[in-house]
Structure 1
Amino acid sequence: MKTFIVLLRGINVSGQKQIKMADLRSMLEKNNFENVRTYIQSGNVVLDSKETAIPLLEATISAAIKATFGFEIPVLVKLKGDIQDILKRNPFEETANNSDKRLYYVLLKTAPDRDLVKAFETERYENEGFSVASDCVYLVCNKGYGNAKLNNNLIERKLKVEATTRNHRTMLRLVEMGETL
């Protein structure tokens, strides 16, 4: 049994694709996931599974959401240890220590093409900094993520990968939830 962090993209935003967390937990438990815990209303789940193949987990959860709630959404699954590694590799540690409200993680479903990364790394955005890794784009948004030009949609378009974004506090909380039962 391994602990996974499941990130759903685009639920409960502006009245679209509504899923109550109690209903999400129930659906996941009916699909043989154990110790299912959710964090806030934006699709953050920590769960345990005997299945360890991440693509299969993503497909299973995606299909269950479609069958239960009637719509498709991007589903990204990471091992708890992978999230811990992403946090440890954060190149903006000073920002994390001083103002975690400015630090964001764009978690990538697959590693982006190196040529796309090279082209992207030449771009500059006022009041924003970023660093690209194979599984994450680290963002510092000095004026807040809501005002950032460098956002999830832009990163998906530039790197041609599916992604979802979480703030530093949420990432820390998800790891913490994965360690406690």
Structure 2
Amino acid sequence: MQTYVALLYSIVLGEGRRVVMSDLKAMTESLGLKNVRTLVATGNLVFEARTTKISDLERRLERAFEETFGRHVDIIVRGAGDWLKLAAGNPFPGESVEAGDQVAVRVMRKSAPADAAAALHACAAEDEKVLLVDGDIWVLFSRERPSSRLLAAANHKRMGIGTSRNWNTVRRLAEMVGNRGIGE
């Protein structure tokens, strides 16, 4: 058995309806996936399954989600080792300790285009940083400005399928898959 992390792009079903984590957990278990756990109410799953292709897991989860909740949602899956590598590759470790909610990573289904960071720099405020690490887009958001243009700029159309999580969530998911103490 292998441990996996799955991230849902959006758990809003429309008109103020959100996916309840217990329903998401039940859906995941109905696929025969084991030891299913959720983290916060934003569509984060950790589960165990026989070793298989990531793309197969993504398709199975997306199909089950659509059948269960009535709409398609992109789901990005990473194996535990790849998740731990992503967490260890955080290019903003000092800032993450100080303000983990200001550091985020857009976890990509396929590597972001090579010019993604440069394209996003054009939308960044002076005190914001963007780095491409192993195909994922890491962002250090401004502490001075409550709204950043970077979120809108890092959309599916420009960057490809992905979903963002802040450092606090990345770290907690890493702990759930078995590597205690990352970034602490």
- When normalised by structure 2's length, the TM-score is 0.86
Q: Corresponding residue for 1:169? A: 168
Partner of 2:76: 76
Report the Cα offset of residue 87 of structure 1. Answer: 1.7
**Relative to structure 1, is the Cα distance of residues 85 and 7 closer, same or farther in structure 2, using a 3 angstrom cutoff?**
same
In structure 1, distance between residues paired with 2:134 and 2:120: 13
Q: Percent identity?
A: 24
Residues 15/82 of structure 1: CA separation in 2 closer, same or farther (3 Å cut): farther
| Structure 2: stretches of 5+ with no match in the other structure | 180-184
Q: What TM-score, normalized by structure 1, do the two folds share? A: 0.87
Q: Which runs of 5+ in 1 are unaligned?
A: none
- Higher relative helix content: 1
Question: What are the equivalent positions in structure 2 for 1:1-181 lying under 5 Å apart?
Answer: 1-12=1-12, 15-16=15-16, 18-114=18-114, 116-117=115-116, 119-120=118-119, 123=122, 125-126=124-125, 127-143=127-143, 147-151=147-151, 153-156=152-155, 159-179=158-178
| Partner Cα distance (2:117, 2:29) in 1 | 42
CA contact (8 A) 1:120 1:159 kept: no
* CA displacement, residues 150-169 of structure 1 (integer Å, 9 cap, x when unaligned): 11x42235743111000111
Q: Deviations over 1:89-142 (max 9, x none)?
A: 12211111222121111111101333x337526635113111012331111112
Deviations 1:16-48 (A, max 9, x none): 552111111111111010000001111000000
State the aligned residue count: 178
- Between 1:40-49 and 1:116-125, the stretch displaced more is 116-125
Match of 2:143, SS?
Answer: coil
Amino acid at match of 2:11: I
